[in-house]
Amino acid sequence: MAAARSGHRRQHRGIYVTGDVRPRSMTGRVTLGSGSFGGGRPAPEAGAALSEPDRLVSTRAVGILIDALRSRESPMLLDLGRVVGDNVAFFTSRFACRLVVADLFADLDERSSAGERNEDQTGAWVAETIRAEPESVDAILCWDTLEHLTAVEGQILAERLTRVLRPEGILLLSFSGEWNARPGYATYGIVDPTTLRRQFYAGASRQMRVLTSREVTETFRNLSIVDACLFATRAQEMVFRKPSHSTATGKGVASRPRLEV
C-alpha cells in the first residue's frame, strides 16, 4: 500500500513551464499535475527551512548552456532539482522554451524518511522519475544531485538522461569534491550567466559519496565533455553534449579543469 501511495505522488511531480520569446517578461505558465504552481508541492522558498545563509557562487557552465540554447527553436529543458523561481524567470524571459522539473530531491527525501533507500538496491525508482520521451530534451540541469545517489542509482540516472537528450543536447552537471555530513540539499538560482545563488535546505536525504571528475566522466561515458571547471571552493562543474547520430561512436575529450579564485 505504501508503494502505491508513493507511486501516486510521483505521477504529479512534473512541473511544466511554457515560456515566451518576449525579452525581460516572464509570461510562462507553471502547473503541477492538474493544479497551479505550488498547489501540490511547495517550492523550497515556501516550504523548506534554510539551514545556512545563501551565498553567491561563480558558474561557467550556465554561459555555455545559454549559447547552446540560442540556436534551438522552442527548446525543452529538464531540471532535476527543486523548483527555483529565479530559474523559471531566467529561462522563460529569454527563450520560447518548455521547462520540466523532475524533482529527484522530493523522491530522495520521501524514500530516505521511509527507510526505502536501503531496501531498493536496483535504483529502479530513478528511471521512473525521468519520464521524458527519448531524444526529446535539449538541455538538462543537474546541480549537486549525483552525490546523493548510490553508484547504481547514478548509473541508471546517467543512462536515462543520455536516452532522453536529443543529439547535440547539453547536460549541465555540478558536484562537490568534499564530504558534507549535513542532511539536506542545495538549490542554485541563476542570477546572471556567471553567477548563481546557492541555498542549502534541511532534508532527510544525505550525501552518499564524494565524486571525482574521473568517476563522473566514466558514469556519463556515452556523452562528450564540452567543458570542466574546478572552483576554489572545491565545487566542480562539467558540461556534456550528446553526440549527433553521425558521430555517436566518437569519444569526447575532457577540457582541463580550471581553478577559479
Looking at this protein, which amino acid is placed at residue 56? L
Strand 184-192 to 35-36 pairing: unpaired
With a pLDDT cut of 90, the percent of the chain lying above it is 51
The partner residues of 58 in beta bridges, in order of sequence, read 195
Domain span at residue 150 reads: 2-260
Neighbouring CB atoms inside 10 A of 131's CB total 14
Tens-place pLDDT, residues 27-51? 333 333 222 233 334 444 444 555 5
Provide the pLDDT for residue 50.
59
CB 170 within 8 A of CB 68: yes
Provide the pLDDT for residue 196.
96
- Residue 113's pLDDT band (cuts 50, 70, 90): confident
pLDDT greater at residue 50 or residue 137: 137
Q: What is the CATH number of the domain that holds 8?
A: 3.40.50.150
CB 207 within 8 A of CB 134: no
Provide the pLDDT for residue 206.
87
Number of domains in the chain: 1
